A and B are shown apart, each in its own frame.
Chain A
């Protein structure tokens, strides 16, 4: 029997969740900015986030430091606080000590010094790497882990939520009890135990975070399906004698999906927060891959002497999580005008 899936107008549904209006806000702009930074990281980052250039001279430089970059003919690179062109060569000041380099030793010599310099807007870490560049690449990790974990959570939430809503009563009750149990358990303890057992990798972080954040989505899926089930078009489909799985797949799920997707995208902020905690504790994203959490951890021991190492990546986490939460707030306000600020 040919059957056109009955659907509520998807565009109207998206509009009803408030997502489009919410996107046209400061929060939406912030999230968009994050995505752009993550995607365009190679273009935006001033330097390679992992390459160490003359670490002894570059390590723990405060924000705004500019160092002259001296390329030597033997291929090595020196960073100097000061360079002076003198007859016959270059006088450099590196690590507080003056040093002479003959003209034929320097590859990038110019008439009044050297051609290159390195400018560290947000300072450097203990390996002399540029913090700004690492933060820009860190946005990739945060968004990648955030979106992939949420995608996994969404899959689990849809499957389990649909099973609970459409399956037999006992299954519903077992699954929902399980969800309550999962919610009641201190998540970080669970996540830590899971991550320490297997060799650390970004994929493991994604899987563990995804497997521990599906519960709320599952509840929402179940609630959506339960309310849709009473709608006329589902009753009509049922009275036509369609197979329950077919009703689920072609009618219930597509119509439940929109609000669920909106909620799922807002979960990303929470996941970014947990990922950063995990990386801070040394069990998440492993160095040298830059993640905001492991960057904060790297600055912990030098908090007093090099405050910028921990401070800036932490600000990035706050900004990213705040952006997603603000967006979530907007959506909630538009869904429920009673708590909104604009009456």
Chain B
């Protein structure tokens, strides 16, 4: 398993390098540059040229690329932001914390809401409750995050003034006691995290429901029931173990969705995170920030997937025993979980007889 994970990591690093190189040439070859954004029509050609010289934009593109690459590889120096005027590494380090806070809180909401609702829907399959949960989860899944955020602001910041409408701290929060500061942060976090978490919970509910239904068809569940175990024990102990295995994989696969969501909601809620900073940098053609942010988001996804792989190996003994069929996510590997999009056909049964027996042993 470790060697598979390492091979995967190496492939991801190579991929990241290719993506960065492509991005570098794309953003530099496209018409317009930061000098256009920083200046206006009155700027003379001479000062434009000076500005470009300052940022090294006047050199031939391959030279710019090699200089950039050398700085990144040798000194891990990502340059200085053109619009923010700060070293990019420090800038992104600062904005990563709010994004992590938002993302992790949203994920907690996602699973706390998604797993129980999915299980309830599976148990009440075909009943009114199942239909309602399915409809609500599909509704959440179909809602654009930005609109959900705006509606949350409208309802819970203005109509019912429960939470602040944006930003991370109140003005003057620095002077507060640590407890009051934490509370202030929490109230600011509530709306964006709930919006993002509930939006993602829609997919989780559907995924858990379908997995649970599939697992409940397994022989070992019938065995457990035949032994006279309580239904609660059958569901939450025996079946749940095998529902959780693919959820671990879902976690890794849903990271890109999480980052997409944070970008939009950070813009809506003026949350000073990675997404909003990247968005501003893209608008301003802030090359160093765009490249570093691309690298950072890519790296986050890679690390998240690696973590999911290791976690998967920890919960599923089959993975420890042998590499997944067809190599890492490659031919024959498990597809994107069915709950995540319209694209995939019904999820191939990830929960096979082997884990089935394993689940039945413990009673």
Contacts and interface: CB of A to CB of B under 8 A. Distances in A.
Contacts of A307: 154
B119 interface: no
B168 to A, nearest CB: 19
Contacts of A199: 31
Contacts of B329: 180
Contact of A317 (B11, B144, B290): B144
B341 interface: yes
A280 B144 contact: yes
A298 to B, nearest CB: 12
A156 interface: no
Given A192-B279, A277-B145, A335-B346, A173 B126 contact: no
For B147, B329, B336, the residue with the greatest tally of chain A CB atoms inside 10 Å of its CB is: B147
B153 interface: yes
Interface string B10-54: 011001000100010011001100000000000000000000000
Nearest to B30: A197
B99 to A, nearest CB: 12
B158 interface: yes
A217 B158 CA distance: 43
Nearest to B343: A216
A216 B19 contact: no
Nearest to A217: B343
Contacts of B253: 183-184
Interface stretch (B178-186, B238-246, B258-266): B258-266
B330 A180 contact: yes
Contacts of B142: 269, 273, 318, 321-322, 325
Contacts of A246: none
Contacts of A187: 256, 260
B346 A188 contact: no
A338 interface: yes
B305 interface: yes
B147 A172 contact: no
B294 A296 contact: no
B259 A310 contact: no
A240 interface: no
Contact of A184 (B147, B256, B279): B256
Closest 3 CB pairs of A and B: A216-B343, A197-B30, A314-B147
Given A193-B23, A193-B282, A219-B343, 18 more contacts: A184-B12, A185-B297, A189-B278, A193-B294, A194-B26, A197-B26, A215-B343, A216-B343, A219-B344, A267-B342, A270-B342, A276-B144, A280-B147, A300-B150, A311-B151, A322-B138, A339-B213, A339-B214
Interface of A: 172-173, 176-177, 180-181, 183-189, 192-194, 196-199, 215-217, 219-220, 223, 259, 263, 266-267, 269-270, 273, 276-277, 280-281, 293, 296, 299-300, 303-304, 307, 310-311, 314, 317-318, 321-322, 324-326, 328-329, 332, 335-336, 338-339, 341-343
Interface of B: 11-12, 15, 19, 23, 26-27, 30-31, 125-126, 130-131, 134, 138-139, 141-147, 150-151, 153-154, 158, 209-210, 213-214, 217, 253, 255-257, 259-260, 263-264, 267-268, 278-279, 282-283, 285, 290, 293-294, 297-298, 301-302, 305, 327-331, 335-336, 338, 341-346
